[in-house]
Structure 1
C-alpha cells in the first residue's frame, strides 16, 4: 500500500542571507528538516528515510521517495553537494515538481546515479522540448560531457540553473546538460532511490 508521509514544520522554511553581495536562500539549516516535506512509498516513517547527521541530510535509499521543499520556486541557481555512503547507487535532484504528493508527480530529474550524473529525465508526464517520450517510458536527455563525478566517498557539487522554461546542469563545474520547454515554477527535492547517500550545503542564489 502506498503511503504518503509528510513532515511540514511550521517554522520558517528558509533563511535569506547575504553572501558576497548575492542573495542566498538556505534550503537546509544543518540541524533539522524544517521547511521540508517527505513523501515515501509504503512502510517506514519519514524519520527512517531522511535524517540529519553531522550537519548533513542522510538518505536511506529505501523505500523510494523524495524530500521536497515546502515552498515552490521560480528562477534560481541551486547548489547542492552529495556523496555516496558505501557503494555508489542512485538518486536525483528534482526540479519543477508540480502539485501532488505521489510517486512520481510531474517533475524534471537531474540524475545523480553513479556513472550518469547530469542526465535529465521527465517523470510523471513531464516533457522536454525536442526529447522523445517513448511509449511506456520516460523522456531522457543524456549528458553532453564525459563523466565528471568524483570517486566514491568524496563530495560532489551540482549546480542546477532554472530560468524560465530552461534548465542547465553543471556537475563539479562541468557543463553536463541543458533542456527547455519545462514548467517555470515548482518544488525542489532530494530523491531516495537505491542506496544511502548524504547531502549538504543546499541553497539557492539569484539567476542573472
Structure 2
C-alpha cells in the first residue's frame, strides 16, 4: 500500500509540474485575441486588418495596429511559423505588452521582436528596455539610447542569413524567462537579451504595412 501511495504522489507531482502548451490560434477564429487599430476605431468602414484565411492567421498590413492576447503571460516559450504572403515588408511580435498606444499613439508599451524582412530577430524597445552583450556595437552610442521618440531603440540581431527565402515558412522561437528574452529563428540564435524592464504582459502581432501569414502559434509555460 505504501508503494502505491508513493507512486500516486510521484504521478501527481509530475502531472502538475509538467509544462503546459497552449494553442493561441485554433485555425478557425480569433478567440483569445482582440484588436487595437486606431484608424479602424476612427472609421469603421475600413477593412479589418486581421483575418482568418485557409486556416491561417493573416495580418493584412493595413490599417496599421495590433492583434493582442486577452491574457497576460510570464515565463514562457512562444513559437510560431510566419511568412510574407506577397511583397516583403515590416511586421513584429511584441512581448510583455501593456499600456496601449504608448508610442506614437499606436504601439503598446512592450519589447518587440522584429520580423521585418532582412532584419528578423532585432529587438525594438517600446517604452521598455532590454540589454544585450556588445550594446554599443549593436545599438549605437550609449548617449543616444532610449525607449521612445527619436532615440536609438533598435538592437540589431546576431545573424544576417537566418531567414528563409521569400514565400517559405520561417519558424521563430521566443523564450521569455524572468528578465531575459532569447530568440531563435529557424534554429539559429538571433538575439539574447537580459535586464528587461518588463517580465510579464500580453503578446501582440502587428499590422505594419505588409501582409504576413501565421500558423502553429503556441505558448509553453516554463
Q: Could you tell me which residue of structure 2 aligns to residue 111 of structure 1? A: 114
1:88-103 equivalences in 2 (<5 Å): 88-100=88-100, 103=106
**2:146 — aligned with what?**
133
Contact 1:116/1:147 (8 A) holds in 2? no
Structure 1 residues 33 and 47: CA distance shift in structure 2, 3 A:
farther
Gaps of 5+ in 1: 1-17
Q: How does 1:48-63 map to 2 (within 5 A)?
A: 48-63=48-63
- CA distance in 1 between counterparts of 2:84 and 2:92 reads 12
C-alpha displacement of 1:47: 6.3
With normalisation by structure 2, the TM-score equals 0.78
| Aligned residue among 186, 206, 209 for 1:172 | 186
Contact 2:47–2:63 at 8 Å: present in 1 too? no
1:59-78 map, 5 Å: 59-78=59-78
Q: Distance in 2 between matches of 1:118 and 1:189?
A: 15
Aligned-residue CA RMSD (Å): 2.0
Paired residues, number: 187
1:188 to 181, 200, 203: 203
* Higher-strand-fraction structure: 1
Residue 48 of structure 2 contacts residue 63 of structure 2 at CA under 8 Å; is this kept in 1? no
Q: For 1:100 and 1:112, locate their aligned partners in 2 and report how far apart those are by CA, in whole Å.
A: 20
How do residues 34-45 of structure 1 correspond to structure 2 at under 5 angstroms? 34-43=31-40, 45=44
| Displaced runs of 4 or more, over 6 A | none
- Contact 1:117-1:147 at 8 Å conserved across structures: no
Distance 2:19 2:168 in 1: 27
Is 1:29 the counterpart of 2:26 in the alignment? yes
Q: Pick the structure with greater CA Rg.
A: 2
- Give 1:190 shift: 0.7
